[in-house]
A and B are shown apart, each in its own frame.
Chain A
Amino acid sequence: MLMTNSSMMYLRRPLCISLCDRNSNAVALYEMMYTIRAFEHSLLEMFGAGVLAGTTHTCLGQEATAAGILSAIDRKRDCVVTNHRNHGHFLAYCGELERLYLEVMGRPEGICAGRGGSQHLHFHNYYSNGVQGGIVPFAVGIALAEKNKRSGAVTIVFLGDGTLGEGAVYEAFNCASLWGAPVLFVIEDNGYAQSTPRRLGVSGSIRARAEAFDIPVDELHACSLDPCAVLQSASGAIDRARVNVKPQCIVLHNYRLGPHSKGDDQRDASEVKRAWEHDPLAAARARLALEDAWQIEQNVTILIHEAQTRVLDDSIRFPRHGVTYDQPPCSTNSKNGEHPLFAQRGDAPAVK
């Protein structure tokens, strides 16, 4: 199997053991990650079942970023600017499951009344937009506004490896550094820009891009999959941005376990399979007591089930038991009701 250095860097390193193992952070972070995973799976299932129209970009495999970074923010004042692949960020920011379902479904009760859809969300200090690159100067503008208001808010903006191809990113880096914008650039290298692997899209060093503008960089390698390590890094960076009133950057390396959007995945199947063996959700779970993990899975599944029950037609049934989402999502091409969404599953809790 051909393995690229760029996309699979973390596979060649052991997961680091972070300091917050087995403490309450780990429990909370797992809950967040599990919620995101379950939500994203359910969306792909809903597409497969023909319940949804339009598109979605799931963040399977990238849950540690959402959980770790957004657990470090001050939700009362910090601002979040993010991209097309933002359900995880959104759920970690506010947990508004039901209104996100409704938004993706295009319903008037959705977070933006169905006008924005999956990629264009706004809720309190959270903004997402589906065009790459352009969100970065927008985020710097927000950070400068908050600086002028002396609110003490830090603005967090999420970029991917693919976004690094956009010139707007470097204009924004330059201005943020020149004018001391309290902004945290989170560059999430998930290995692929849609179908283009990092080695075909990103030359040179990612961290050197930010460092060239005098923006301090904290780069996590294998630890990028560990939400506790991400949280720790983000807490430090956000503190520095707030206290020093200067931009900061975190570079994370993970792997997009799912397709770019719904079913468009032509990557080497064995590469994806190997990546699933390093699933960050499974790693986060392994650090918890089984009962804790099982309890979280039960609770989250009930929450999701209840949300779906409220937003969906009665004719569609969903599993009500805890599921470990340790497999690639099922194909979105369902045939004659054989889609797992409609299959009756056992009531026994699934525990690895």
Chain B
Amino acid sequence: MHLLLSEDERVIVIGEDVADPYGGAFKVTRGLSTLYPDQVITTPISEGAITGIAAGMAVRGFKPVAEIMFGDFLTLAADQLINHAAKFNFMYNETVSVPLVIRTPMGGRRGYGPTHSQSLEKHFLGVPGLTVVAVNSATDAGELLVTAVKHARAPVLFIENKHLYTLQTTTHLSGWNLERLGLCGETDTFPTIVLCQQFAPASDALIFTYGGMTPLCIEALIRLHETEGLNCDLAVFSQLSPVPTGHLRSIMTMKALPSVCAYAEEASVESGWGAEMIASVEMARQQLGMMAPLMHVRIGADHTPIPASRGLENAALPQIEDIVMTLVNCF
């Protein structure tokens, strides 16, 4: 963020409580308003106005990075995102660009209860004109954000799972090769990281995931190998929507596709990211002439609001054990 603001005075940070000394509810903007007072706007509690004003500024030459304090409040900005910002480029016949990034923390595991713990990004997938990107623990978050701010011509919804704020990025995993599809800033698609196991020539299962489920999936990979004898690959997507079909095809053709594909997300699975990925995998299989039987399994939260109590929340959200057991049960 410091880099973005110092390099380009058109970058504007706008959101609730983003100014110092508070520096944002999750401290992501700490220090910015002190160093760049003209580029940081702390706002009233008005998610719709934050998003609409940022869109107006984007259309007139600025590069706003808006912060919605909790992803749960994104519903209050939905009209501005879906009916305004995401529409402009297309409906005005590509005569305007909207370089707007909306950052927001999603996810649970902190005991914040039903309205401060959700992963609502699935409701914003599949909106034409809106790119949805999620930070994960296998990709440098700063690099993703810089790419979004510098290169976006249309709005980008930038999801930061709260659980990841305290974690380091995984750049190496003994026993797995980390392969990267897509380079930030050089393509239209945000990168995908694939962890390919080195233990056996063929893999038993391929797990697809994104965001806050990434560290859990990595831990599950290790446990599946060490205690269950299952050798799995993991594909971590940064771009959730539109589905990076080029990356998907690359993953499916890297080596023989295993007989099980699992899709892990923190939200409840119904009408979710995994459902769209299953459809995309099947479409790609048809196009690639892959006829072998393939089992799809989804891993996600219970189909209930997320409870506040630690025990109930743990039971409702997908855990490492859920990933391990779901895969073990496939064999």
- Answer yes or no: do A and B interact: yes
Chain A interface residues toward B at CB < 8 A: 79, 112-113, 115-116, 120-122, 127, 129, 131, 133-146, 148-149, 167-168, 171-172, 174-175, 178-179
- Interface on chain A toward B: helix, strand, loop, or mixed SS? helix
Residues of B within 8 A of A131 (CB): 79, 83-84
- Report whether B91 and A112 are in contact in the complex, using a CB–CB cutoff of 8 Å: yes
CB distance from B199 to the nearest CB of A (A): 52
Total interface residues on B, using CB and 8 Å? 31
- Report whether A116 and B44 are in contact in the complex, using a CB–CB cutoff of 8 Å: no
Residues of A within 8 A of B58 (CB): 141
Determine if B111 is an interface residue (Cβ-Cβ < 8 Å). no
Q: A127-B59, A137-B51, A149-B60 are in contact. List 4 more A-B contacts (CB 8 A).
A: A113-B93, A122-B92, A138-B55, A145-B61
In Å, the complex CA distance between A25 and B254 comes to 73
**Which of chain A's residues has its CB closest to B64's CB?**
A141
Residues of B within 8 A of A79 (CB): 60
- Report whether A138 and B84 are in contact in the complex, using a CB–CB cutoff of 8 Å: yes
- Taken residue by residue from 58 to 69, chain B's Cβ proximity to chain A (1 for < 8 Å, 0 otherwise) reads as 111110000000
- Report whether A141 and B48 are in contact in the complex, using a CB–CB cutoff of 8 Å: no
- Report whether A178 and B56 are in contact in the complex, using a CB–CB cutoff of 8 Å: no
In Å, the complex CA distance between A141 and B43 comes to 13
Determine if B95 is an interface residue (Cβ-Cβ < 8 Å). yes
- On whether A120 and B53 interact (CB within 8 A), knowing A131-B84, A146-B60, A178-B44, the answer reads no
3 shortest interchain CB distances as A-B pairs: A141-B56, A137-B52, A145-B60
Greatest chain B CB density within 10 A among A138, A139, A141, A144 is at A141
- Report whether A172 and B92 are in contact in the complex, using a CB–CB cutoff of 8 Å: no
- What number of residue pairs across chains A and B have CB atoms under 8 A from each other? 114
- On whether A137 and B93 interact (CB within 8 A), knowing A142-B56, A145-B61, A146-B60, the answer reads no
- Report whether B92 and A140 are in contact in the complex, using a CB–CB cutoff of 8 Å: no
- On whether A175 and B92 interact (CB within 8 A), knowing A134-B79, A145-B56, A145-B62, the answer reads no
In Å, the complex CA distance between A149 and B62 comes to 10
Residues of A within 8 A of B5 (CB): none
- Report whether A141 and B91 are in contact in the complex, using a CB–CB cutoff of 8 Å: no
CB distance from A144 to the nearest CB of B (A): 6
Residues of A within 8 A of B56 (CB): 137-145
Greatest chain A CB density within 10 A among B54, B57, B83, B87 is at B57
Determine if B49 is an interface residue (Cβ-Cβ < 8 Å). yes
- Interface on chain B toward A: helix, strand, loop, or mixed SS? helix
- Report whether B53 and A115 are in contact in the complex, using a CB–CB cutoff of 8 Å: no
- Report whether A141 and B93 are in contact in the complex, using a CB–CB cutoff of 8 Å: no
In Å, the complex CA distance between A79 and B41 comes to 22
In Å, the complex CA distance between A149 and B95 comes to 20
- Report whether A112 and B41 are in contact in the complex, using a CB–CB cutoff of 8 Å: no
Residue among A115, A121, A171 making CB contact with B48, cutoff 8 Å? A171
Residue among A129, A140, A148 making CB contact with B87, cutoff 8 Å? A129
In Å, the complex CA distance between A134 and B77 comes to 10
In Å, the complex CA distance between A174 and B60 comes to 21
CB distance from B220 to the nearest CB of A (A): 42
In Å, the complex CA distance between A175 and B42 comes to 10
Considering the complex, which residues of chain B in the window 253-275 have a beta carbon less than 8 Å from any beta carbon of chain A?
none
Q: Can you offer 17 A-B residue contacts whose CB atoms are under 8 A?
A: A120-B92, A122-B88, A134-B52, A134-B84, A136-B52, A138-B55, A141-B60, A142-B57, A143-B56, A144-B56, A148-B57, A149-B60, A168-B48, A172-B53, A174-B49, A175-B44, A175-B46
Residues of B within 8 A of A127 (CB): 59, 88, 92
Determine if B216 is an interface residue (Cβ-Cβ < 8 Å). no
Determine if B80 is an interface residue (Cβ-Cβ < 8 Å). yes
**Which of chain A's residues has its CB closest to B43's CB?**
A175
Greatest chain A CB density within 10 A among B87, B88, B93 is at B93
Residues of B within 8 A of A144 (CB): 53, 56-57
- Report whether B49 and A137 are in contact in the complex, using a CB–CB cutoff of 8 Å: yes
**Which of chain B's residues has its CB closest to A103's CB?**
B93
CB distance from A107 to the nearest CB of B (A): 12
Determine if B96 is an interface residue (Cβ-Cβ < 8 Å). yes
- Report whether A112 and B83 are in contact in the complex, using a CB–CB cutoff of 8 Å: no
Considering the complex, which residues of chain B in the window 230-249 have a beta carbon less than 8 Å from any beta carbon of chain A?
none
Residues of A within 8 A of B43 (CB): 175
**Which of chain A's residues has its CB closest to B56's CB?**
A141
In Å, the complex CA distance between A282 and B20 comes to 59
In Å, the complex CA distance between A79 and B56 comes to 11
- On whether A116 and B92 interact (CB within 8 A), knowing A134-B79, A138-B53, A174-B49, the answer reads yes
Determine if B90 is an interface residue (Cβ-Cβ < 8 Å). yes
CB distance from B33 to the nearest CB of A (A): 14
**Which of chain B's residues has its CB closest to A110's CB?**
B93
- On whether A134 and B93 interact (CB within 8 A), knowing A168-B48, A172-B52, the answer reads no
In Å, the complex CA distance between A149 and B90 comes to 26
